[in-house]
Amino acid sequence: MPTAPQGESPLRSEHDIVLARQTVRKLTQELGFSLVDQTKMVTAASELARNAYTHGRGGTLCWQIVERDARRGLKLRFADEGPGIPNMDLALTDGWTSGNGLGMGLSGARRLVNDFEIDSKVGAGTRVTITRWK
């Protein structure tokens, strides 16, 4: 297998967001995800990377190829040291509507992946972990 099973990249500039997308695209391709699944994962990564950069004032993306019951997947962790999320319920409000795009990052990204975990404290940053299985 050509890629190492894990890696890290910064999310401290707009170019980093583009790089993050490219990294996730490459990884999902290597894992043999279908085109739709690749696109979903790359899009989710773009949303969360942007959140970390704009709301989170900069952060890091840690990626890992994971295995569970002989099934392989891609796990992405977006961590920032920003202000944290004061109202988690509001932030995760699920609304499948023709929205205006505001605050859609989290609830939208959640629908694009298999596993979604979020941990955030006001004043102590936010960590979002998503996984997509093949």
Partner 1 sequence: MERIPILRMGEFLLVTIQVDMHDQLALKLQDDLSHAIQKNATQGVLIDISTLEMVDSFIGRMVADISGIGRILGAETVLVGMQPAVAITLVELGLALPGVATALNVERGMALLRRKIDGAESNADSTTG
Partner 2 sequence: MADATMSNVLKKSGKEILAAWARDLASSQAASKGRISAAELNQQAGEFIELLSTASEHARGADITGGDFKPIRDFLDGVSRSRVQQGFSSDETAMFIFSLKKPFFAALRSDAGKDADALADQVWKATELLDALGLHTVKAYQKSREEVINRQQREMLELSTPVVKLWDGILAIPMIGTLDSARTQVVMETLLNKVVETGAQIAILDITGVPTVDTLVAQHLLKTVTALRLMGAECIISGVRPQIAQTIVHLGVDLQGVTTKANLADALALALKRTGSSLKN
Residues at the site binding partner 2, with contacts judged by CB under 8 A: 36, 69-71, 96, 98
Q: Whose CA is closest to 77, among 92, 63, 57?
A: 63
CB of 28 vs partner 1, minimal distance in Å: 11
Among partner 2, partner 1, none, partner that 87 touches (CB below 5 to 8 angstroms by kind): none
CB count within 10 Å of CB 131 equals 18
To which residue do tokens 């004043």 refer?
123
* Token pair recorded at residue 13: 């500039």
What amino acid occupies position 10?
P
Specify the residue, 6 or 34, whose C-beta has the smaller distance to partner 1.
34
Considering the rule CB under 8 A, would residue 52 count as an interface residue with partner 1? no
Please, are residues 77 and 129 in contact by the beta-carbon 8 Å criterion? yes
CB of 63 vs partner 1, minimal distance in Å: 17
> Using CB under 8 A, which of 11, 42, 79, 128 touches partner 1?
42
CA 34 to chain centre: 18
CB of 35 vs partner 1, minimal distance in Å: 5
> Using CB under 8 A, which of 10, 46, 88, 92 touches partner 1?
46
Q: Whose CA is closest to 118, among 22, 52, 31?
A: 52
Please, are residues 130 and 115 in contact by the beta-carbon 8 Å criterion? yes
Return residues touching partner 1 (CB under 8 A).
Answer: 14-15, 17-18, 21-22, 25, 35-36, 38-40, 42-43, 46-47, 50, 95-101, 104-105, 107-109, 111-112
